[in-house]
Structures are given as structure tokens and as C-alpha cells.
Amino acid sequence: MQDKIEKKLEHSELLQLKRWNTPTIYNGWEQITRQDPAREGINLEASKDFMPQMGPMVGYALTLVIEPSSSKHPQTSKEAWGAYRAYVARQKGPKIIVVQDRDKPSVIGSFWGEVNANVHRALGCVGTITDGAIRDLDEMTNSGFKALARQLCVGHAHSWPVSWGEPVQVFGQTIQPGQLIHADKHGFLAMNQEDASQVLEAARFMDNNECQTIIEAARSGAGLPTEKLLTNLDEASLRFNEAARKQFARQTEW
């Protein structure tokens, strides 16, 4: 089991990342990553943010596997809770617990509720991405613990830490322990260390580039003749592309 997180960003940088939504961070990430932005890093299945009012969450992935339908785990691994909590406590925050539910596509029980949310907050965690369910929604929200999940459920069934600190599969994506995650109501983006170190500057550049070119042309187009508006948008798109290519040597969406 992996028990180490790579060098992380400064806390001030994480706070700046949290000021933008996940699509904006993605716009910067796709310019600097060597990964395929259509297949890697992002959730490939629908997720739901059950606390959108809390805004984005940013943190480093700690991974966990559960199987709420099976009663064998509580019976055969009685020390698992203590060992799992020690694993979480040893890592530096902020932390996001990424949970693979072996019962998928069924939903039998939730690892998360009022108690576990408060316990993990005390251990330096800001939220979870779980490919299963959560419960005690209001109480979890009150604890300040954000959750992206598939659905709500009533009980916990046989929720138990099965394994942790290893790669997990959630929402069609493989997540490695230690990846930087940015997540909100749109979904999540999980970055490797190389990309994480560059993504703040890249996202800031792309956000400014949009505002100074295409968005500016669109917002100032009221009352213009159609042909003039179309010309302005075409010219703004060219400026947007030129600026991005100059900065990143990459083709952009426009």
C-alpha cells in the first residue's frame, strides 16, 4: 500500500486554484498536459456534487476500496479501521478520499455519513469522491465535508475499509494516490505532479485570454450589424489562438 504523497503545491497556490471552477482549471490543464484530455484525468461517467453551494474542492487523493454488500470484511479484518485511519492521518493535507465501491452498479450502503465526515475532517480531509453513495447529507454538509457521489442511500450496510493507498477506479477513471484533484458540480480533474505544478499559471493565462478576445468580442457585439459581429468574432478567435499557441505551442479549441 502506498503511504507517501509527492511534493505538493504551496497552500496559497491551492487557494488560488479553488477560486476557479473545474472547467476553467481544465482549460489550462489541457494546454500543458501530455495526457489525452478526452480520456484521462476527468470523470468519464456522470457524477453528482451534493454540496454545490460549497464551491470547488482542491486536495490530494487518498484512495480507498469498500464493498458494503459483503459481511466478510468486518469479520476477517478487525484492525482495518485503525490502520486505515493511520494511513489518512500520516498524509499531509488537504486530502480528498477517493472511494471505489466494489458493489457498482448496485448501491448497497454508504461509507459516508455524519460520523465519518466529521472524523475525516479532523484528519485533514476536505471531501470525497465516491463511486457509490453517501447519506446524512445535511449533517455531512454541516461538517464542511464535500462529496461527489452517484446517489444517496439510507444505510451503511457492511461498509468497511477493504484496501487503501492503491490505484482505484471511479466514474470510469483510474485515480492514483497523491494526484492533485480539482472538483465541483461539473465533475473532477485529477492531475499528475508535473501537470499540477504548471496548471495554476496555465489556467490563469487561458482565463485572461478568453476575456480579452472572444468573450470581449461577444459581449461588445450588441447592436452591431450581423456581418460586423461575425467578423469581430472571427478576428477574436484568431487572436485567442495566436496567444495560446505562442504561450503553449498547442492547438486550442477555437
pLDDT digits (tens, 9 = 90+) for 165-218: 999 999 999 999 999 999 999 999 999 999 999 999 999 999 999 999 999 999
Domain boundaries, the chain: 11-195, 213-248
Over 90: is that where the pLDDT of 77 sits? no
pLDDT reported for residue 78: 80
Position 74 confidence tier, pLDDT thresholds 50, 70, 90: confident
* Residues contacting residue 110 through CB under 8 Å, at least 6 positions apart: 68, 132, 133, 134, 135, 152, 153, 155, 156, 157, 159
The distance in angstroms from the start CA to the end CA of the chain is 43
The architecture (CATH level 2) of 11-195 comes to 3-Layer(bba) Sandwich (3.50)
| Predicted TM-score (pTM) of this structure | 0.92
Q: What is the mean pLDDT of the chain?
A: 94
Instruction: Place 25 in a pLDDT band, splitting at 50, 70 and 90.
Output: very high
